[in-house]
Every structure is written in C-alpha cells, then in structure tokens.
Structure 1
C-alpha cells in the first residue's frame, strides 16, 4: 500500500511539474527575447563580436545574421576566426555608421531592423491597424501591384520583423505584403497563447482587411506558431477559400513533439504527459490536444512550400516531412542541413529566396 501511495504521489508531482512547464511554453512576455553581443572591432568588411552574459552563444553558425546597434544595422556573414566566446565574421553595413568598439548590439536571425521603414528603405511602408477582438493589432504594410496579397504571421514570442526575411521575397515579387501580429504576442502586450486555436481569428481579420482593400486572394506565410495559426485558419475560417497558397518555415503542426522536446519529459511515461495536457485544459479551457494538424491534413487544400532545419530543437523537422508524406501533391518540404529553429534562411539565404520566388511565380501570379 505504501508503495502504491508513493507511486501515486510521484505521478501527481510529475503531472503538476509538466503541466507547469507546458503553461510556461504558452506564456509570452511583452519583452522580446534578449539577443545582445558586444562589438570588439570592425573594419574593411570584417567584424569581431563577443558574447555577453545572457546573450546568444551561437555566434559561429549559419551564413547570414543581423546586427542592429540603434544608429545603424548590418549583416554578419562568413566565419573568419573562432576563439570560443569571440568570433570574427565578414560584415556588410546596411545603414547608418559603423559601430564603435564596445558597442552592445542586437544579434539576431531576423537579419534586418525591427522597424520595416528601416528594413525596406527604398519602399513605401505604412503601419496599419488590423481590427482585433480586443483592439487594433499593429501590422506593417508594403504596397504592391499584384491582386494577390501576402499576409505574414510570426511565431510565438517573436515580432513582425521575424517575417522580413520572407517579406523581402514577397515584396520583390510585387505582392502587397502585410506582416501582422496577433493577441498575446509581445507587440500586443504578451499573455498566454492558445497556440493558434484562437489567434486564427486575428489572421481572419487581416484577410478580411486585405479583401476590403482590393485583394482578390491571399498567400499566407508563417513561421513556427505562425504555421499553427495558418493551419487553424484554413481548418476553421469561412475565408479559408481565399487562400491561394501557403509558405511555412519550421511550422508547429503538432504540439506533442514540441512539448516532448521542450519540457523535461525524459523517462516520463507518455500517459502522464497526456494527463498534464488534460490538466492544462481544465485550468485554462484551452484544448492543447487539438493542436494537431498531421493526424488529419484535410485542412491543406492549396499548394504549400515548407522549410525546416534539421537541427531544430524546438519543432522536430520530422513533422514537416510528415505533412509532405500525407499531402505529396500539395506540400513540398525542403530540409536545411544544420539549421536550427526558423533558421533555414540564415543558412542558405539565396537558395531560400530563389525557392520562394519560384513558388510564388507558379502559384501567386495574376
């Protein structure tokens, strides 16, 4: 009897712990993730940067990352020297003046400034509000000549600027491009996400706005949880038929593998993880088990281009492969060797852009 009681207490303790970690995955701060490094020196197309406490430690991976120090921005490229916590890479100035030694700068996979007016200096850029159920939601808009609009949806805890890598392709293709935000994102004040189960209505509002401004149809582009929002929209919205195609980068199409990869479930029986998800539903009313767009892929009725890094530690690349296997006539997945979460562009920016533009030519031209 004592052994049984002890086992029940241990199981209950695990359920409480895992449920708390799952809650943490859904909780979004109003502050964006810190990503600071220190500039050691810069000259002749080269820059040396070093780690600072609490900043990124992945300074030697990938091909292109962004650096923004407020009075200017640039992109770091090829690794020239690696000294552990200090790295020298090629450097291209995008705007402003070069940073001085000692400057603390934002180092990011986003690769471009967070203000679209700085990221697209040669384009007309407007900040427009998208009507949301709890108030207006900010969006960046770049006009274009096409009657097909691009609507871009960032991931959990990120900002609209996460989508500028993809947005550069849609803008270059001549598509009016709208990078949106949604409830509980940092730019909307943070909070607890429903992992797309409610946020799809904010995407629906953006599609409705595009329609009132002349869009015949839309191409939906999303990264990480933005993929969940797009899948949920296609599954639930009356406007889903206006979608012409989708582009997904490391999409969160099934929550359970992401939970297994992100919370401490090693050695924990699967039924206890399932119970923890059920407890979360009782606590919040959000049925996280419904975040599963792979067991039934009938929501995908339009062509889909998918990118996923093989070293993604947040959302397993196998989930994107499963989408292509389930819908081979619609979905094409490109795996990028060594890339982490939403880093496919950073590892192969030219190939990424080429594949996106080819896809848009086939599926989004008037």
Structure 2
C-alpha cells in the first residue's frame, strides 16, 4: 500500500526530520509540505541536506488542499495551531498526528491552565490517543487523532513505566532531572538559544512550571492507577540533539539492581526501540543520536533506598518525528519499524 502524507509545519526542525524519514519510507508518498515562511520554495533550498532526496515545493500552510490529497496529516506546529486543522481533518475522514500539545491532555481545562490558550476542539479530545507505542499500541491502531508525546515525557514515561505498573516505587517521591539539546527550542530566533548564550553554559529553565509537567503526571498516573505528582526540572545543554533524564524515586521494597533490570527486560522484551542496558552501563545521548531508540540504565542505592533511572533519547527523533512515523506505521497497518531502523551516529 502507498500512504499519501501531508505535513503542516514542514520547515521547522521537527518537520524537516519528518521529511527526511518519510522521504526514505518505502510505503509513503509525500504529497504536500506546508509552511508559514517558505511557500513557493523547493524544500531542498530550505534544507540543502535533502537535495536529491525530496523535490517537492513548499506550499502555504493555510491551504487546505493537502487535506484532500493526503491519507495522513502530520501537524508539526507550536501548541494552539493544530486544533482547526484537526477539525477539518476529522470532517474529511483523515488521520491526524499532532506533534504539538493540543491533544495530549485529556482535560481541556488543564490544557488551558498550562498553555494559556483556549481549546477550540474539545469535542475531539475523546477521539485522541496518546501516541506512546510501547504503552498504547492497541489504542493507536484504531485512532483517528494521535497526540504525539512531548520529548521530555517520552524519556520519563518509558523510564518509569515498569516500576509504576508493578507498584515498586512510592509514586509521591518521584524527582525528574532532565537535560535537552538546543534543537528542542525550535528553529525560531531567540536570545536564550543564541550561540554565545548557550555555548559553554548550562542552565535550568521553567523550574516548577514547565508545560510538560501535567502531561507527565497524567500518563504516569494511568500507569500507577492513582494520581501522581512529580518534581520536574528541565535544563538546557550546549548540544544540538539529545535528552538525558535522571529520575529518582523511593523504592517500596529493596530489590537488587539485577532483579530490577530483569523486570525492565521482561516489560520491554518485545520493544525493539527500547534498549535496557546491562548492569553498570548507563545511557549517553551520543548513543541514540539519529535513532528512534530510548536507552535505559538503572542503579539502586541501598543506602538511601532509592532507585536512579537514567534514560536517553534523541529529542527530534524518538522525542518527536521518529515516534510520529512509528505511530503512522501502526495506524496504517505497516511494520512498525519501517524507515526507522538504524544504529546511531558515532562519534
């Protein structure tokens, strides 16, 4: 089968990564690349690394023609922009994968509180499925709207899922310390991501108020079967790609490190894209760069009774575009790893 795909917001970093992946997808035909800034220009002029890999010309993102020609529409825009597109896609019977935040939170009031935007497509929230394949694969298969997870939440939820599902940690004790590369801030110009501001620097930001917090708590609560409140602090690293999350939690009892690792391996035994590392081996962002993998390492501290879980992903790949294609493969009945398999780039 051939899946016709349109991308709205194709010229941001996440959109460009979608184009790169889908241009090599054997079952996909890219039919429209929508942009707010580069309409009328060949895509490869905007992103020369795709010269000879994609020959499409960018179109105005406001045009709705792609909703006629595409089977699946990806929306790679900031929060607040996917809602009208989702309404139109639903009317036309198209599948939609939103890489923004508009459909991640089940309660529109929570969304409006954290994102300061009115939710204008509340009637579609019940149709949206949180698109973390390793947890929600069965629901994704039948989804009309897939809410692609945030990059930080992906690294956190996969790291904690086996423990919360098996009630091995105190769900009120979770502390999340995450660091991201600068590409997570997008391609737009901003003083905070100016080279001389970021280079040779390391900083925390949005402490106690980051918008991924309610998303993390919502999905961890589903796994735990109870409300979960976390302390989440993101940091900005002077690197282009990657997220490293270090998570601390109080163990309900004190199993050994090897026992915990075996639990993780059993939980993820059928998940190619989650790599549970051997005892004593901890993830690095370099190992997952350019891949759809999430690497997880574990250490148990018997002195404090805490477990430390470390996860690493590529924020643009598994944290965004790669996971979105993984979701598309699932809803279209294609092999889930199509166009996504490959080891990372090193060094």
TM-score range, shorter chain: 0.3 to 0.5
The TM-score normalised by the length of structure 2 is: 0.34
Between Structure 1 and Structure 2, the one with more strand by share is 1
